[in-house]
Structure formats: structure tokens, C-alpha cells
Structure 1
């Protein structure tokens, strides 16, 4: 049986989670405006949920690889990745400006409605 205390606690937790999600989206949007960032950051800035972001990012990375072969140059960076919490090793990653991500998104042809909405937001940005 739910009491006022449990209802209040659940509402506070839900508000805190929603606030966390809004802050993450705003932080990603600000980062994208200021400099070149990863494709993941650009997709997060559209406000999509985590499961959708993962699918779109993998697809866009494949398109970006083709675009790099055709002359689209992202900023190449070396990052340190961990494997199971240790063994940090260097990996090559790429950072893209908003215009470059819009070009990549234009070449991306999604089928799912959610992915199409994210593609439109990336092209419009």
C-alpha cells in the first residue's frame, strides 16, 4: 500500500532522473556548438534516448568511414580506452563539426521512424 511518503519519494526520484537527462542533453548541445565532437555527442544533443542513440551512432559511424574514404576529414584524435577496467590502450577516434555531421547524416538512409527523426535533426543543426 502506497503512502504519502513513498509517493513523494518516487516523484522526487523521477524528477531527479528527468533533470539528469535534461542536463546531459544541454551539456552535449553546448559541446557540439563550441567545437568538433564525436558522433555520439552530436546524436545525444538531439535529445534521443539511450537505446536509440546506440543504434544511430553505429550506423552513422559506418557512413562516416565511407565518407572519410571519399574525402570528409574529421579531426583525428588518440584516446585512452580501458578494457574491463584496466589495460588502458590508445585508440584512434574522430571528431566532427556540426557541418560535417550534417553531411554524414545526409548520406545516411534510415528505415526506422525514430532514426529518421534524429537524421532530420542532425541535418537541420
Structure 2
């Protein structure tokens, strides 16, 4: 019976290590991409090491701030992508890519309330 328990413990530890490794790879890949050129808001946030729920919330908030910044002269690089949208396939959508400096300016104008969002804001400004 001990061998079954030991096998389960080993299996669970392997799964946990694999998940942690995948998360580290995702963060490292996003950080490398951010260094090389303009990327989406979400990619910049993922590079800070935030979890998925925080990335989604901060990205939505920063999109509103970025829209205001675009009217005030801060323009990201415009790109056209094809993706599924509301059940329709291959819809062409306009998205914006930002450099680190532009993200720092957008984050400076962002005033979050949640502690996690404040930590991400500080990391974006520092980068």
C-alpha cells in the first residue's frame, strides 16, 4: 500500500513541477518578446509575472487608459489580426502594440485600487 501512496505523491509532485515550469517559461518568453519590440498590453503584463486573472483585469483597464492616451498623442503601432470574434471566423481586427516606454507612460496615467493591480502598475513603470 505504501508504494501506491508513494507513486501518487511522486505523480503529484511531477505535475506540480511541470505546471510551475510552464508558468516560468511563459513569463520568460513574454519578457523576451517585450525586450525585442512592440507588443500587446497583455504581453507586457504577463512579463511582470502576474497571474491570469490579474492579467485580464489590468489589460482591460489599461486598454481604456491607452485609448485616452491615443487621443492625446501616444500612438502605438497599429496591427491587423485575423481571429474568431463572436462566433465569426477570420474577422479582421485592429490591435495596437506598444513599446516598453509607451507602456510606462500608459501605466503612469493608470490609477488602480486593488493591491495586485498596484503591484503590476509599479512593475510596468519600472520596466
Shorter-chain TM-score category?
Answer: over 0.9
Alpha-carbon spacing, 1:79–1:103, altered in 2? closer, same or farther (3 Å) = same
Residue deviations 1:36-84, cap 9 Å, x none?
0000000000000000110000000000000001000100000001136
Runs of 4 or more, structure 1, over 2 Å off, are 83-86
Cα 1:87–1:42 change in 2 (3 A) is same
What runs of 5+ residues in structure 1 fail to find an aligned partner? none
Number of residue-to-residue matches in the alignment: 125
Residue aligning to 1:8: 10
TM-score w.r.t. length of structure 2:
0.95
State the match for 2:35 in structure 1.
33
Show the counterpart of 1:114: 116
Could you tell me how far apart the structure 1 residues matched to 2:55 and 2:115 are? 13
Partner of 1:76: 78
Alignment partner of 1:50 is 2:52: yes
* Gapped regions of structure 2 (runs ≥ 5): none
Structure 2 distance, partners of 1:47, 1:28, is: 9
CA–CA distance in 1 between the matches of 2:13 and 2:106? 40
Q: Please point out which of 66, 69, 92 is paired with 1:67.
A: 69
TM-score by length of structure 1 reads: 0.96
Please say which structure displays the higher CA radius of gyration.
2
What is the aligned-residue RMSD (CA, Å)? Answer: 1.4
